[in-house]
C-alpha cells in the first residue's frame, strides 16, 4: 500500500495534520491541515521553502480563524458594509448556534469512506476527499519523479497539484504562484541529489 512508502517525515506531516485538525476543533483533516503540518519545521523538510515564499503557520491559522467566523466569502469591506447596516456576523453565528446547536453552520458529515491504514493512523472519514486526493497525488508525484519514497516534498506537490483545496486557496490568496512554488520544491530535489 502507498503509506508503506512514506518517509518518517511524511508520516509525521500526516500525524501533524491530524493534530492540527484536533487543535482547531475541525471535523475533518483537510488540505489546510496538511499545509499547517508542512509548515512545522520540526517535522517538515519543506517548511523553509514555504517560509521563503512568504507563508507561515500564523498566517494560515489566522486565515482559518477568519473563515471559521463566517467571513470566508466576505472580504473586510463586505463585513464592514454589513456592520454599517446593523448586521453583526458574530452575533448571527452565535444566535444560530444558540438555536440549533454548536456546529449548525458546518457542512453535513461525509459518509464513512474506505479506511486506509497509515502507520498507526486510519485515514477514513476523518480526512476530506481533497486531503485523500492530495495524498494520492503525492504518490503520483513520487512515481513521476522516479522516487522510491514519498516525502514531505511530495505531499506539498500533492497540495499544489490538487489545487482546489483550502490549502492551495490560502497559498494563492497570500499571493503565491503555485507553479513557482512547485518549481522551488522540485529544485530542492535536485539540490539534495
49, 94, 110, 184 from 97: Cα distances, Å: 40, 5, 21, 44
Q: Which domains does the chain have, with CATH numbers?
A: 2-69+118-192 (1.10.1780.10)
Is there a contact between 135 and 158 (Cβ–Cβ < 8 Å)? yes
Tell me the per-residue pLDDT of 38-80, one tens digit each, with 9 for 90 and over. Answer: 998 888 888 888 888 888 888 888 887 777 655 445 556 766 7
Burial 60-83 (b: 16+ CB within 10 A, else e): bbebbeebeeebeeeeeeebeeee
- The C-alpha cell at 161 is 497539484
Taking only the tens of pLDDT, the chain with its 193 residues reads 456 778 888 889 998 999 888 888 788 888 999 999 999 888 888 888 888 888 888 888 888 777 765 544 555 676 677 778 887 767 766 776 666 665 555 654 444 444 555 544 555 548 888 888 998 999 999 989 898 888 889 999 999 999 888 889 888 888 888 999 899 888 877 655 4
Put simply, whether the predicted model's pTM sits higher than 0.75 gets the answer: no
- The C-alpha cell at 26 is 475541525
pLDDT, position 159: 93
Can you tell me whether residue 72 is helix, strand or coil?
coil
pLDDT, position 166: 86
Amino acid at each position: 500500500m502507498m503509506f508503506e512508502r512514506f518517509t518518517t517525515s511524511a508520516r509525521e506531516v500526516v500525524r501533524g495534520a491530524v493534530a492540527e485538525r484536533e487543535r482547531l476543533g475541525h471535523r475533518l483533516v483537510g488540505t489546510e491541515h496538511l499545509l499547517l503540518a508542512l509548515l512545522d519545521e520540526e517535522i517538515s523538510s519543506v517548511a523553509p521553502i514555504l517560509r521563503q515564499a512568504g507563508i507561515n503557520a500564523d498566517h494560515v491559522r489566522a486565515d482559518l480563524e477568519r473563515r471559521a467566523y463566517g467571513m470566508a466569502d466576505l472580504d473586510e469591506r463586505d463585513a464592514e458594509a454589513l456592520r454599517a447596516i446593523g448586521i453583526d456576523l458574530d452575533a448571527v453565528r452565535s444566535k444560530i448556534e444558540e438555536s440549533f446547536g454548536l456546529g449548525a453552520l458546518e457542512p453535513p458529515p461525509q459518509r464513512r469512506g474506505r479506511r486506509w491504514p497509515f502507520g498507526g493512523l486510519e485515514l477514513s472519514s476523518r480526512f476530506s476527499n481533497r486531503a485523500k486526493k492530495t495524498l494520492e497525488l503525492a504518490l503520483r508525484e513520487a512515481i513521476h519523479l522516479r522516487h522510491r519514497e514519498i516525502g514531505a516534498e511530495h505531499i506539498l506537490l500533492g497540495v499544489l497539484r490538487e489545487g482546489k483545496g483550502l490549502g492551495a486557496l490560502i497559498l494563492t490568496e497570500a499571493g503565491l504562484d503555485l507553479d513557482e512554488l512547485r518549481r522551488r520544491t522540485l529544485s530542492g530535489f535536485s539540490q539534495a541529489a
